[in-house]
Amino acid sequence: MSDKFSVTFLGTSSAPPQVERRQSSIAIKYKNHNLLVDVGEATQVQMLKHKIGFSNLTILLTHLHSDHTLGLIGLLTTRSFYDISRSITIIGPPWTSSFIFLQLLAHRLNPDYEIKVIETNGGLVLSNSDFYIESFPVSHGVNCFGYKIVSHQSLGVFNVERAIEKNIPKGTMWKKLQNGTPIEVNGDIINPSEILDVSPIKPIKIVITGDTPLDEHVINHSSNADLLVHDSTYPHSEKLRAKKHFHSTCTDAAFVAKIANVNKLVLTHFSELHNNLNESLKKSKEIFTNCILAYDGLTVHV
Ligand SMILES: [Zn+2]
Ligand SMILES: [Zn+2]
C-alpha cells in the first residue's frame, strides 16, 4: 500500500462547457481511503475511465454551485443501480443536506444505503487513523470552503520483520507501537524505538481551495503545504473580472503559493478566457516556479 497520496484531476474547467475539459472534480486516494472533492457534471464517466470505485467513497463539496455538484445525484443513483449497501459520507457547506434530499425527492430516489451528511462552517470535518481534514471558508460570494487534508505524523517506519522476530501479535499491538506506545508481550516491555526504524515521516499536507479569489484564509491555511490546488479561472490580464466574480487569476494562485511557501502548485478551474494556457503558466512561473497546469486525467503523487 502506497504511503503517498494520489490526486487525480477528473474535471478541470470552470462552469461553461469545454470540449477537452470536464467540470470540477478531484479524486484523492490514500491507503484504503478514497475522497472525491466536488462532483461536476461528467464525474461518473471520469470515475469509470480512471477506475475509481463508487462504493468506498467520501465526498467533499467545496460549495453548491452546479459546476461542482451536477454529477452528485447521478452518482448516488448509480450506487443504487449497483446495489451498493455501504453508506456514503458527504461533507459540504450549510444547506448540503436539504440540497441532497430535495434532489432525492424530485428524482424519486430512495437509496438502500445510508447517506451521512456533515455540514461544515469551518474546522475539523473528518479524522481517522491515517489523516484528518479541516475546512476553511473562502470568499466566493456564497458559502464556499477550501479543504486541508493532512496525514498524521509517523514516528518511524514499522519494521515488520523485527516485530515478527519478537513474536509481537499483529493488530492492536502493532498499532500501539506505531503510535509510540510501549507494549507488554509475555511479561516483557517493548518500546516503539525497538521496532520503528528512525527517520520519522513528516505529515503530508494537501490544500484544495475550491472557487476563490485571492484570499488571506487560503494563504494562512496553505502555509508550507506539500500541494496546493488553486482556482485559476482567469488569465493574468483579467484581474478585475476575477475580483468581480470571486475567482482568481493564475498569477493570484502563484502569489498565494509563494507567500504560503508551498512545495507544489497545481492551477485548475480554467475558463475559456485563457486563450493561451502556456502563456498563463509562464506568467505564473515568474512568481512561483514549481507550478503546473491541471488537465483531465492528470495524477499527482504527494
Ligand atoms: Zn466553479
Ligand atoms: Zn463557484
Domain boundaries, the chain: 6-153+202-301, 158-197
Q: Higher confidence at residue 193 or residue 240?
A: 240
Inter-residue contact 146 to 205 (CB < 8 Å) = no
CA–centroid distance, 130 to ligand 1, in Å, is: 29
Q: Mean pLDDT across the chain, nearest whole number?
A: 95
Q: Any bridge partners for residue 8, and if so which?
A: 27, 299
Query: Which ligand is nearest the CA of 143, by number?
Result: 2
Query: Which ligand is nearest the CA of 141, by number?
Result: 2
Whether 252 is catalytic is no
Q: How many Cβ atoms are within 10 Å of 77's Cβ, its own excluded?
A: 16
Amino acid code (one letter) for 235: P
Q: Which CATH superfamily is domain 6-153+202-301 in?
A: Ribonuclease Z/Hydroxyacylglutathione hydrolase-like (3.60.15.10)
CA–centroid distance, 59 to ligand 2, in Å, is: 17
Q: What pLDDT score does 230 carry?
A: 98
For residue 93, pLDDT beyond 90: yes
Q: What pLDDT score does 177 carry?
A: 87
* pLDDT bucket at 282, cuts 50 / 70 / 90: very high
Query: What average pLDDT score do residues 134-153 get?
Result: 96
Q: Higher confidence at residue 277 or residue 3?
A: 277
pTM here?
0.89
Q: What pLDDT score does 175 carry?
A: 86
> Active site residue: 67, 211, 215, 252, which one?
67
Question: What is the arrangement of strands in the sheet containing 25-30, beginning at the earlier edge strand?
Answer: 115-119, 88-92, 58-60, 33-37, 25-30, 6-11, 299-301
Q: What pLDDT score does 135 carry?
A: 98
Query: What average pLDDT score do residues 88-106 get?
Result: 97
* Span 199-231, pLDDT tens digits: 777 899 999 999 999 999 999 999 999 999 999
Query: What average pLDDT score do residues 275-292 get?
Result: 97
Residues sharing a CB contact under 8 Å with residue 107, sequence separation 6 or more, in sequence order = 73, 77
* Span 227-243, pLDDT tens digits: 999 999 999 999 999 99
CA–centroid distance, 127 to ligand 1, in Å, is: 27
Residues whose Cβ atom is located within 5 A of ion ligand 1 = 67, 211
Inter-residue contact 130 to 31 (CB < 8 Å) = yes
SS3 295: coil
CA–centroid distance, 16 to ligand 2, in Å, is: 11
Alpha helix segments (H runs only) across the chain: 43-49, 66-69, 72-81, 96-106, 160-165, 172-178, 192-195, 216-222, 239-244, 250-259, 277-287
SS3 152: coil
CA–centroid distance, 144 to ligand 2, in Å, is: 8
pLDDT over 90, % of the chain: 83
Q: What pLDDT score does 186 carry?
A: 85
> How far apart, in whole angstroms, are the C-alpha atoms of residue 56 and residue 88?
8
Query: What average pLDDT score do residues 43-56 get?
Result: 97
* pLDDT bucket at 96, cuts 50 / 70 / 90: very high
Inter-residue contact 205 to 224 (CB < 8 Å) = yes
